[in-house]
Structure formats: structure tokens, C-alpha cells
Structure 1
Amino acid sequence: MKRQNQISLILGAWCMALLAILGCENVISPLTDDAENVFAIHGFLDMAADTQFVRVSALRSAVLAEKPGLENVHVQSVDESTMEVAAWSDLVIELQDGTEGVLYYSLFKPVSDRTYELQILKDGILVATARTTLPKNPPYFAGVPTGDTLQFIQTIVVEGIAGRPFEIAVQYEVSRPDETPTETVLIEYDQDGSNTLGGWQFDVFLKRDQFSVLREVDWPLFGPQLELRRVSAFISLKSAEWVNAKSPNNFENAHGFFGSVGRFELPWILPPDAVGTLGFIDKQDPL
């Protein structure tokens, strides 16, 4: 097995996202009363990541029993839409409590609305599985901008979801007059939205964002106008497994947590008069 003590830069985001369920401490119970249920699996697939991680632990059935190892254990995943198999490599890490844990990682990006089965094989025999289906790319629409130049907002409705996405940001792509290169400004949105018929909605504060864009690109409020190239919202959605994280039902001969996170860009065209209200020149390309 490969050993690496300092992997915080790689796994920091992974640990934070899983903290409420497992954390990066060795809190997995080492015992099991079920002879068939001998593996603990904790991890999730992330559409935004090029590398996927999952923690696997072998359990023993009695206090005095010898702690089982993972020397003959191999992990792989299957994309059930294409039946493509991805191999996972092992990595021994030092946990926050000073003990060691084993992560498995694989280099691929999962695809929305596909089901992946994580498979644990021991001595070449399939002994445990966990499955997750990534969230779908949701339909959405942008309402008509409303308000005056001081309180100028636009409502975005995301259909088919119940409750707030756990991450929301709005991105503006602008360019300086007569210059081709674009500059990107990403603005995180922390405020709550509201449930609506068939989905969930939130307000984009266009005028407030205008000042943020000007500040980020170091552009004067009164002067030549920036060119607006693109506006998008970025949202992150959790799979169904996160709802019942404490009592999952997507395991065979294992327990723990295995879910997924969908990351989606929702672009829209800002009406020309709204672009003018913001003091930009409309250079948006059709979607």
C-alpha cells in the first residue's frame, strides 16, 4: 500500500463534506455482530472532482479476534449505464486521532443521473457493494428582472427539487471594452430562498452583484462600460442517500455511508434592458 502522511490539500474538502457523518477520525466501530457485514464504507462521488475517494474498513466480530486486514481486498466501481469498470487504488492515511485509515481513490468524473455501484472484492470474489445515483441536471427558468436601479433582482426557479441546494453561487463573465479575454467573478449566495410549486426559487441581486463585479475586476463605476458575456448560477445537489445518512439502505454486506453530489451550471440570458440598467454592454452569446 502507498503511504502518505500529509494529504490535507487533497482530502480537505472531502473530509469537510463528510464530517457530519463520519469525520476524518477513526470513529468506525471495529466490531460487528453480523458475520456477513464485515466492511464499513464511507465516501461519496463528486461531479466536480477528477478524483473520487472512499474510506473502507474491515471489521472483526469479537473483541479478541484478530483485526482483519485489507491486503487481499480490491475496490472497483461500475457505471451501470455503460457497464464501464473503474479500478480504485489504496492509500494509507494518518487520521486526526493518530491512527491509520485506508482510503481508496479512482480517477474519473461521475455523470449526472447515472447509477454507480461500488464493489469490494476479496480474493477476487465480490463480497460487498454500495450504490448511488447522481442527481439529475434540473430544469430551471429565470424570471423577469424587477425593481429599480437600487434594488434590482431576478428570480431563478429550479424545478424538481425540494429545499435549498447546499451550495449556490452566481458567476459573471465580463470583458473590458474592445478586449477579447474575459474575466470571471464568482459570487457565493448564502441567503435562503423558498419552496415554490414544483421546485425551489432564489433571488439574484443583480445591482448588488454589479458592484461586486466592478470591485473584483478593479473597474470604475463611472467610466467606460464593461461588456457582459455570460451569467450563470452554480448549484450543488445531494443525492437521496444524504437524506437518510444515518440509516442507509443502499448497501449489500456492508454499512456506512455512500452517496453522491451533483454540480450544475444554470446559465441564462439577461434581457438587454437589464444589462443596460447594470451599466454593462450586452455581449452575451445565445445559449
Structure 2
Amino acid sequence: MSVTVHDVGQTAGARMVLVAALALFAGTGCDNTIDPLDDVDGDQFAVQGYLDMEENVQRIRVEGLRSSILGESVDLTGVVVTSRDHVTGEVIMWDRETVQIDGDGTVDIYSAEFRPEPGHRYTLDVARPGRQGTVATTMVPPQPGLTVTEPVNLIQTVFLTDLPRSPDFMAMKYEVLVPENNEFETVEIVYEQEGTSTVRNRLDVRLATDRFIVQGRLFRDDNDAPLTLAQVGLVVRLPSQEFERNAGSGNISNGEGFFGSVARFEYSWQLSEQVVREIGYEDGQQGG
């Protein structure tokens, strides 16, 4: 069965990467505490954040390390943050912005406008001009392959191949046409949260059950005219190895914190007209 891979667009609104990163740390067991160092000299920094394929603007938090937790914060005036793509050789300078975060006071956020590419390795360099600073490296997870089987009893099994680690998010994505207003609606069903089953690289898609969920999300029932299925697909999010439990900050030299990356991929495929009608949709698919 033919599978199409889609480009991942920017999510609505730029997210504050620090908040999102800390939420992911909570789920992965990463230690994101920053301990004062005895031998800091003003050239060691703590970085917090990750590169995100869903965003056109990348953001990280940077702070200077202090020898005492009671010591004054380190002024980052003059500190330069750059990133380098090891595949293309492109070097990008990041812009500094001071922002207010609830419960954390004023913090320094550095941002750069680019979208990381799957399978590319990136090095982040935080330093004062002419001095050695903090260096962190991450590789964005490469795109896994996808194999889709023919449905059996309206259950379709999909397999992810060449998977470096387990996804932290998998969702079926259905685009349907509502007949009453002739408008398209997209519904994502997060697996392992809707009574469906997943393992590391396999997803058993319960197509008929998903239709009932789609109907419920759109406040419809079987007494309404059937929806038209325009597209069916899968959304997969893969964290880099830095998110693995007890991974620590081994990818950061002369500094502390966390620096990783997150990849997101979207796939789509076609169902046969017979299967679409057995599920309970009208068939409006235009291609995988």
C-alpha cells in the first residue's frame, strides 16, 4: 500500500521552549536541575531547550553558571549564541531576548529562525567573543519508514521501520468533509489514550472505532448524514536520544543543562472505497 510523507508545517503560535521542554522532562525522567559549580569563571553556561521540527523559530534559555546559588546572576551582555548544521555547514546567529516567566523572574531567551532537518546534527555554541564557552550537540531523529497493511475486519496495522527509539506521540489523523456546510474538519486521535493499542513500532488502527470518535468530536451521530473521508494518515513525534531516562547532559561540554531535538512526521495513505463504506464514510479521497 502506497504511503505519502507530508511536510510538517509550523504549529499555531510559537511556544515558549523552556515550558515545553520541562514538560517533556517530567515525562522522560531527565534531570534538568542546574547545580552551582565551584570553578566557574564566567564562561560556563546552562542551556535549556530543544530544536523542534514543528517550529519555524527555535528557542533556548541561557544563563551563566554561578559558584553559589546565592550569587548574583551572570550578565549575558556580549554573549554570542550560534548553531551549526553539520550536514550543510550553515552557521546561524541567535538573537537574545529578555522575558518574564511566572515563578522564574526575568530570563534570557535566545532564538533563531530556521527549521531543523531530520537526520541532521546541530552544534550549539554559547560563548563570549574570543573565549571558550559552552558547546552542546544534538542529532534530529531521522525519518522512519512506514508499512501499511490491508485492513482485516476494519483493523489496519501499520509498522514504523528503522526506528531509533520509541515515539512519544502517535496519532491517527482523519480529514473529513461535513455535508451540511461543505467544510473540511481534521480530527486527531491520540493512540493509547482512546482505548486503542500500540507497541514500540506497531499501531493497530481500529478504523470503525475511530469513526465513532470522529463523529463524537464533531457532535454527530448515526442519524446524521455520513461524513466524507478525504484523507487518513498518521502523525508521529520522535524525541532525540537526550530525552531518554538518565541520558544526563553528556552532549554538553563546559556547561550544564539540557539540549535535544524533536522530530515530527506525517504520513497518509488511501483506503479502498469498499473499506471506506464499510467504516461508514462516503469516499472522497483524492490521493495518498
Alignment TM class, shorter chain as reference: 0.7 to 0.9
Determine the C-alpha separation between the residues in 1 that align with 2:175 and 2:70: 61
Amino acid of the residue matched to residue 194 of structure 1? V
Give the secondary structure class of the aligned counterpart of 1:182.
Answer: strand
Determine the C-alpha separation between the residues in 1 that align with 2:278 and 2:147: 21
CA shift at 1:69, angstroms?
A: 2.2
CA shift at 1:91, angstroms?
A: 2.7
1:40 and 2:46 matched: yes
Amino acid of the residue matched to residue 137 of structure 1? Q
Which of 154, 159, 162 lines up with 2:161 in the alignment? 159
CA shift at 1:230, angstroms?
A: 0.5
Determine the C-alpha separation between the residues in 2 that align with 1:17 and 1:169: 17
Instruction: Note the alpha carbon deviations across 1:218-263, whole angstroms, 9 max, x for none.
Output: 4442454322111011111011222265433322322321110011
- The answer on whether the counterparts of 1:22 and 1:42 sit within 8 Å (CA) in structure 2 is no
Distance 1:113 1:246, change over 3 A: closer
Task: Name the residue aligned to 1:250.
Answer: 251
Distance 1:242 1:178, change over 3 A: same
Amino acid of the residue matched to residue 142 of structure 2? K
CA shift at 1:121, angstroms?
A: 2.6
- My pick for the range that moved more, 275-284 or 162-171, is 162-171
- The answer on whether the counterparts of 2:45 and 2:133 sit within 8 Å (CA) in structure 1 is no
Task: Name the residue aligned to 2:206.
Answer: 205
Determine the C-alpha separation between the residues in 1 that align with 2:70 and 2:237: 44
- Count of aligned pairs between the two proteins: 269
Determine the C-alpha separation between the residues in 1 that align with 2:88 and 2:235: 27
Task: Name the residue aligned to 1:92.
Answer: 98
Give the secondary structure class of the aligned counterpart of 1:13.
Answer: helix
Instruction: Note the alpha carbon deviations across 1:90-110, whole angstroms, 9 max, x for none.
Output: 233445545443222222221
Amino acid of the residue matched to residue 50 of structure 2? F
CA shift at 1:18, angstroms?
A: 3.8
- My pick for the range that moved more, 27-36 or 125-134, is 27-36
Instruction: Note the alpha carbon deviations across 1:167-192, whole angstroms, 9 max, x for none.
Output: 11111111145986422111122255
Which of 166, 171, 179 lines up with 2:173 in the alignment? 171
Which of 13, 16, 19 lines up with 2:23 in the alignment? 16
CA shift at 1:60, angstroms?
A: 3.4
Same amino acid, percent of matched pairs: 31
Give the secondary structure class of the aligned counterpart of 2:208.
Answer: helix
- Structure 2 gaps, min length 5: 1-13
Task: Name the residue aligned to 2:115.
Answer: 109
- Structure 1 gaps, min length 5: 1-7
